Amino acid sequence: MAEILMCEPLELYNVLNQRRCVPRLAEINYLCLIDAREIQDYYTSHIPTAKHVKTDSKGNFLLSEALEVDSMHHVVVYDSNTNCLEERGRAADCAQVLAERSLFPVRIVRGGFEKFSALYPFLRTEKILYTIMELENLKIYPVEIIAGLLYMGDQQQGMDSNILKDLKISAVINISQSDTLESRSIKGNQTILNIPAADSVTSDLYSSFERICSFIGSHIKMGSRVLIVSRQGRSRCSAMTIAFLMHHLKYTLEEAWRFVLKCKAIMRPNTGFLQQLSEWELHTTGTKQTDLSGLHFQ
């Protein structure tokens, strides 16, 4: 029987917003998301791609054979407002049934639909069925690094006025070799900081670490939301995000690396940036604590 755990709304938000070539929600074995609320609540509004599970006359959850839980990498269930594992609500009851078939931990969303939809109202939907093409063309949002404060994405997301509005972004840091984000191209009041840097092993990001960390820190101190972007949202922005976590939260390079990797599985700082992050670790902690050869991707 699989383990049953709680997960924060941020974790589900990030699971929903992973991308490889296309959104990972288009992968048939990626996510099993179950809405355990009453059917009328599900039809009113739910989280995208969530499926509703029927109950029998005694209130026991009945999993359809078509629901291939045992092949899913992520298994997540939510009800209206369960906050802990000790609450014997609909989410907990459904999780027990899911755990009997799952090979991976079953996660219950803390605060349920009420909390998730309050944090991410733009992710509420009434849509029930999706074609593969629709899943491949879903809008993907930047991943959330620090809840309600720091986000990381690609340059297209940094230019999408709807995304900036939905996430209430106040500042965008664009790390790019030649492309810049102009304030006039964005329908909002975001502060734009352009950092010229190529995604090359010889490119210098280190000299910008102090400046960017100070910029981010000043914004989040005021409760403002910051989005870090680079062209593909994989190398430069992840290196900068790691550097900020090392500076702001006093993480080692390995701790910051694993933190960001959990938020975005395709993050890939190039080897030159890794060396610079190692030097940044020496600067922020006084010693190089992380063996670079021990850092692995998922």
Question: Which neighbouring-strand residues pair with 32?
Answer: 75
Domain co-membership, 276 together with 147 = yes
Domain co-membership, 109 together with 237 = no
What is the DSSP-derived secondary structure letter of residue 176?
E
Domain co-membership, 124 together with 50 = yes
Q: Per DSSP, which regions of the chain are E strands?
A: 4-7, 31-35, 51-52, 54-55, 61-62, 74-78, 106-109, 143-146, 150-154, 169-176, 191-196, 225-230
Residue 107 has pLDDT above 90, yes or no: yes
Which of 232, 251, 137, 99 minimizes the C-alpha distance to 175?
A: 232
Q: Residue 190 maps to which CATH number? A: 3.90.190.10
pLDDT of residue 188: 60
Between CA 163 and CA 213 the distance in angstroms is 23
Residue 181 has pLDDT above 90, yes or no: no
Q: What is the pLDDT of residues 118-155, one digit of tens each?
A: 999 999 999 999 999 999 999 999 999 999 999 999 99
Last residue of a domain, one of 111, 136, 161: 136
Domain range spanning residue 54? 4-136
pLDDT of residue 184: 40
Look over the chain and give the mean of its residue pLDDT values, rounded to a whole number: 93
pLDDT of residue 185: 42
Residue 161 has pLDDT above 50, yes or no: yes
Task: Find the mean pLDDT for residues 189-198.
Answer: 91
What is the DSSP-derived secondary structure letter of residue 142?
P
Last residue of a domain, one of 136, 166, 200: 136
168 Cβ contact list (under 8 Å, min separation 6): 225
Domain co-membership, 290 together with 152 = yes
Among 63-72, 105-114, 175-184, top mean pLDDT goes to 105-114
Domain co-membership, 153 together with 123 = no
